[in-house]
Amino acid sequence: MSWVFLAAAIAFEITATMALRASEGLRNKAWAPVVVGGYVTCFVFLSLALRNGMAVGVAYGIWAAAGIALTAIIARLVFRDPLTKVMMLGIGLIAAGVLLVELGAQTAH
């Protein structure tokens, strides 16, 4: 169940970040409830993932890495933000790092 909570945390964090981008830094106040609500809900789900036994290093690593990678990809598709080869390499390195953290956590058990 902790993985479901973590996936929800990631989804709400990305939604809030995309809403922040759409609001142009909250100049368009109509997006403010989505931004604030998304971030608050994100942290609620992240705390539920931790409460259900996920190690904080694993949860935070996956949450942060997925947020960075998916936000960059979605921002490219929706807002035409840049996504260069160097950025894609960085996303790959982040994914590799998270995989190593997860593998290390599994080995520790």
Q: How many CA atoms lie within 13 A of 85 on its CB side?
A: 0
Domain extent at residue 97: 2-108
Q: Has residue 55 got a pLDDT over 80?
A: yes
Cα separation, 9 vs 48, in Å, equals 9
pLDDT digits (tens, 9 = 90+) for 75-101: 999 999 999 999 999 999 988 988 888
Across the range 54-58, mean pLDDT stands at 90
Contact 8, 68 (CB under 8 A): no
What pLDDT sits at residue 102? 80
pTM of the model as a whole: 0.89
Please count the structural domains in the chain: 1
Cα separation, 74 vs 22, in Å, equals 12
Which ranges in the chain belong to alpha helices (H)? 2-22, 32-51, 56-79, 85-108
3-state secondary structure of 3: helix
